[in-house]
Amino acid sequence: MDTTLLRIENLSKTFATVKANDNISLEVNKGEVVALLGENGAGKSTLVKSVFGLVKPDSGTITIKGEVIEAGDTAAAIRHGIGMVHQHFQLVPVMSVAENIILGDEPHKGAFISYAEARESVKVLSDKFGLDIDPDAIVEDLPVGLQQRVEILKALRKNVDLLILDEPTAVLTPQEIEELLQVIRNLSSQGVGIIFITHKLREVLAVADRIVVLRNGKSVGTATPKESTESSLAQLMIGREVIFRLDKKEAKPGAVVLEIDDLYVRDDRKLMSVNGLSLSLHAGEILGVAGVEGNGQRELVEALTGMRPTVKGSFSILGEVATGKNPRAIHTMGVSHVPEDREKDGLIATLSIDENLVLNQYKNSPFAKGWIRNIAAVNSYAEKMIEKFDVRTPSGKYPINSLSGGNKQKVVIAREMSQESKIIIASQPTRGIDIGSIEFIHNQLLASRDSGVAVLLVSAELDEILSIADRIAVMHGGKIVAILDPHDVDRTQIGRLMAGAKE
């Protein structure tokens, strides 16, 4: 009997100028966990989106249980027993958990929805997979980890034969990741085929039966966990040797440059997400703020950079009170900011690369003299920056949305790190970036630190913090719950603190 569940043959997909998938072929068998590995931008998401019908491939076929699937049709994919848990949650924030789960296949009496039946079915699902959730809770009120659960339940609702998980562990604590991996093992033992996308090598080795590596849109090799190590996989992913521990000098921390005192900040839904936070940052150090997303990190950074008002408490920069100042003023005080959402806050997509490189300095000389701007100065500065930070583009005059994610981030980094600032606040600076660029950015941060700049690094990637931070502050529930020395902690301990445990 043919145990092949999914067969992808010669799949290709090009977006504008980028060939996201280049003639890829892949098979998944019943009950098999296939890890799809590759760095950011390698084409993993695009591939599985083609399987699920969110993206229409240019060529190639997708066959499930022997039947060819129509391309670009999510309803067809669902009918064929494919379920998908998305990297960026596909939930409707204002609707309830039950409504989100039943969407598209609602229990009904005629045209009307039977809400009672809906609630019942959510409870049944919850119990079956051990993922507890309140059907009537409104999704946007849920913490991120629970939203993830809704996303998973939604995918598991139908009897799936093939489950795709796209970077499911980004927002989970180490313990929750363990639990999820267990759910995956259970499912695979029930005969469900699983495609598990991640760029985290540790997880791959923990749960995969087979590993497929993508690089630059092509499939470059398969392996099994038994025959692989993190280094061998990384080499396959990047095509060259990767250094895992950076060459890091010891930090020489100096005076306190940023002092946060019992800060309270509300989020967009008026809840107090920064809840009495105190912290000090010294010159010449990298302070890593570790924590699962959704514990107030974003609001903290927005408050510190003047983009969000504070409710109570204060913070001061180099001795001067900075609470309540607008972004421009804080910037003038010597603060640079690499924002979490570069598309929304850090860049203006249709402006040129040059313009983006001077975005928050457009009024200062030499880029402007009073009212009149000096475009020549902007262009020559940009040219230098593009070279120094290795931004891949034929010309700085192109709009910045012509760049890849990694290069866009380099522009933001270039802009923020070249401003002679005293403090750099970097929020998720390497999210969605290819490993080469990640290395580059980490080295830049270390160089800044060595020259006496204070760096506040907020990141949900524990590895990143463990790799470059000099001190680690664990954030949970809007407070700092512990400050640790990276030399003598282990992941489990941090994981527990991140989840809110008390020691």
Partner 1 sequence: MTAYHVLIVKGFQSTAGLQSTLSKAGILIMSGLAITIGLRAGLFNIGAQGQVLSGALAFTYVGYRLHGLPIWVHLPVALVVGAAFGAFVGGFAGFLKATRGVHEVISTIMLNSIMAGIVDYLTQNQFRLQGQPNTRTPEILHSARLPHIFGYPSGFLIAVFLAFFVSWVLKKTTTGFEFESVGRNRNAAWYAGISVKKTIVLGMLVSGAIAGFTGAIFSSETTGYFVPAFYSGIGFDGITVALLGRANPKALIPGAIFIGGMRSAQSAIQFEAGVAPDIINLLLALVLFFATAPFLAKLLKSNAKSITTTSGWGS
Partner 2 sequence: MLNTIKSFNFKSWKFLLSVATFALWIYCYAANMDITNSVVASGMRFGMPLALASMVGIMCERSGVINIGIEGTMLLSGFTGFYVASYSKNIVIGLVIAILTGVLTSFVHAMMTIKWGMDQIIAGTIINILASGLTSFLYREGSTVPNTWPIFDIPILSKIPLLGASLFSQLGPIQLFGMFLIPGIWVMMNKTRWGLRTRSVGENPGAADTAGINVIRMRMTNVMIGGAIGGLVGGFICLELVGSFSKDFTAGTGFTALALMIFGRWNPLGAFAAAILFGLAQALATQLQIFGVNNVPNQFITILPYVFTILVLAFSAGKVRPPAAAGKPYEKEQS
Query: How many angstroms separate the Cα of 408 from the Cα of each of 13, 14, 68, 232, 434?
Result: 22, 20, 38, 29, 12
Q: Does 100 bind partner 2 (CB under 8 A)?
A: yes
53 or 253, CB closer to partner 2?
53
Which residue among 3, 15, 128, 130 contacts partner 2 (CB under 8 A)?
15
Which are the contacts of 88, defined by CB distance < 8 A and separation ≥ 6? Answer: none
Minimum separation from the CB atom of position 344 to partner 1 (A):
5
Spatial separation of the C-alpha atoms in residues 270 and 107, rounded to whole Å: 34
- Residue 84, binding choice from partner 1, partner 2, none, Cβ under 5 to 8 Å by partner class: partner 2
Judged by CB under 8 A, the chain residues 127 through 166 that form the site for partner 1 are none
Backbone angles phi, psi at 484, to 5 degrees: -125, 160
Query: How many angstroms separate the Cα of 416 from the Cα of each of 110, 164, 359, 364?
Result: 58, 37, 10, 15
If phi > 0 it is left, if psi is from -120 to 50 it is alpha, else beta; for residue 150 that is: alpha
Query: Which tokens belong to 419?
Result: 């401003």
Report the run of H or E that residue 415 belongs to, with start and end: helix 405-417
Strand pairing class (256-266; 59-64): unpaired
Please count the residues of the chain. 503
Judged by CB under 8 A, the chain residues 284 through 313 that form the site for partner 1 are 305, 307
Minimum separation from the CB atom of position 450 to partner 2 (A):
37
Query: Which tokens belong to 110?
Result: 């005629």
Q: Does 125 bind partner 2 (CB under 8 A)?
A: no
The residues facing 399 across adjacent strands are: 352
163 or 414, CB closer to partner 1?
414
243 or 372, CB closer to partner 1?
372
Judged by CB under 8 A, the chain residues 65 through 94 that form the site for partner 2 are 72, 74-75, 77-78, 84, 86, 90-94
108 or 128, CB closer to partner 2?
108
Buried b (16+ CB within 10 A) or exposed e, 265-298: bbbeeeebbbbebebebbbbbbbbbbbbbbbbbb
Residue owning tokens 């903290």: 300
**Choices 195-203, 322-330, 382-390, 493-501 (CB under 8 A): range interacting with partner 1:** 322-330
Number of residues that bind partner 2 (CB under 8 A): 32
Minimum separation from the CB atom of position 148 to partner 2 (A):
14
Residue owning tokens 């296949």: 105
Judged by CB under 8 A, the chain residues 327 through 386 that form the site for partner 1 are 327-328, 331, 337, 339, 344-351, 355, 359-360, 362-363, 368, 371-373, 375
The CA-CA-CA angle for residues 393, 399, 401, to 5°, reads 85
Q: Does 204 bind partner 2 (CB under 8 A)?
A: no
Judged by CB under 8 A, the chain residues 134 through 173 that form the site for partner 2 are 154
Q: Which residues bind partner 1 (CB under 8 A)?
A: 305, 307, 326-328, 331, 337, 339, 344-351, 355, 359-360, 362-363, 368, 371-373, 375
Q: Which residues bind partner 2 (CB under 8 A)?
A: 15, 18, 20, 46, 52, 54-56, 72, 74-75, 77-78, 84, 86, 90-95, 99-100, 103-106, 108, 111-113, 154
